[in-house]
Structure 1
Amino acid sequence: MSQQDTTFNADNAPKPVGLYPHARQVGNLLFLSGVGPRKAGTKKIPGVELDEDGKIISYDIEAQCHSVFQNVRAILEASNASWMDLIDVTVFLTNMDDDFATYNRVYAEYFADNQPCRTTVEINKLPTPIAIELKCIAALSSNS
């Protein structure tokens, strides 16, 4: 029995930084590649100030949280899915001590109606100068 296997890319989400799609559907599961807060069509990262060498001088985790959640929503919609289809979210933060409380508050605003499983981990670094990245899985209904 073969399963549906389709890839998706969203025009209104930032382009992947490597050779991978924004999302891949296998059967009724939709797997999103890591999603960061970069704005679509630019290299701009909301709330981030960089020096001339591209190193982070300062950043606003709240602005990055709002942006990454909006990017996830854009990818879901381009993949014929919705926010309510999310069942699992893995969150990578680069500074748990300083950023967790703000991230957790903003997360609660976006996930008040849908409460997927969640794992939050601190990592040393992400591939671009961002402080948060999400890895998500959605379960699609036959109506999606």
Structure 2
Amino acid sequence: MEDRINADKAPEPVGLYPHARKVGNLLFLSGVGPRKRGSKEIPGVTLDEEGNITSYNIEEQCHSVFQNVRHILEASGSRWENLVDVTVFLTNMKNDFPVYNKIYAEYFKENQPCRTTVEVNALPTPIAIEMKCIATI
């Protein structure tokens, strides 16, 4: 059985990796950002002519990331409630963590997976948040 999953509704990976891999009854998701499938559009991000971020809305990006994670989970035979571990990368912890934390609490009222949130200097595309997850199937 093929253990690599690429979800039809999630944005295309920006490198040579699948959206997720199944190992036993566990599902490991690659880092998921807020991009929209089939385009370079990033919700809540304004870029200049050279592709540099001029402004962004972390709230819009959070909602989009969570939706993309949901697409991958569902395409993999899992679901949101099966998430057991979440690692979130933010490019600006000081400014974005309070908003992200509030939105996170809305999405995880019932299921509360283990969570780690770290600040990184940059992400591979001009985004402010990326999420890596482990779920059961």
Shorter-normalised TM range: over 0.9
% identical equivalent positions: 73
Kindly state the Cα deviation for residue 5 of structure 1 after the two structures are TM-superposed.
6.0
Q: Structure 1: which 4+ aligned runs deviate by more than 6 Å?
A: none
Partner residue in 2 for 1:42: 39
What amino acid is aligned across from residue 66 of structure 1 in structure 2?
A: H
d(CA) in 2 for partners of 1:138 and 1:19? 22
Match of 1:78 in 2: 75
AA partner of residue 102 (structure 1): V
Match of 1:32 in 2: 29
Question: Is the aligned partner of 1:58 residue 2:55?
Answer: yes
1:95 aligns with 2:92: yes
Q: 5+ residue gaps in structure 2?
A: none
Query: For 1:40 and 1:72, how far apart are their aligned partners in 2?
Result: 13
Q: Please provide the CA RMSD for this pair.
A: 0.9
Counterpart position of 1:133: 130
Residue among 66, 70, 79 paired with 1:69: 66
Gapped regions of structure 1 (runs ≥ 5): none
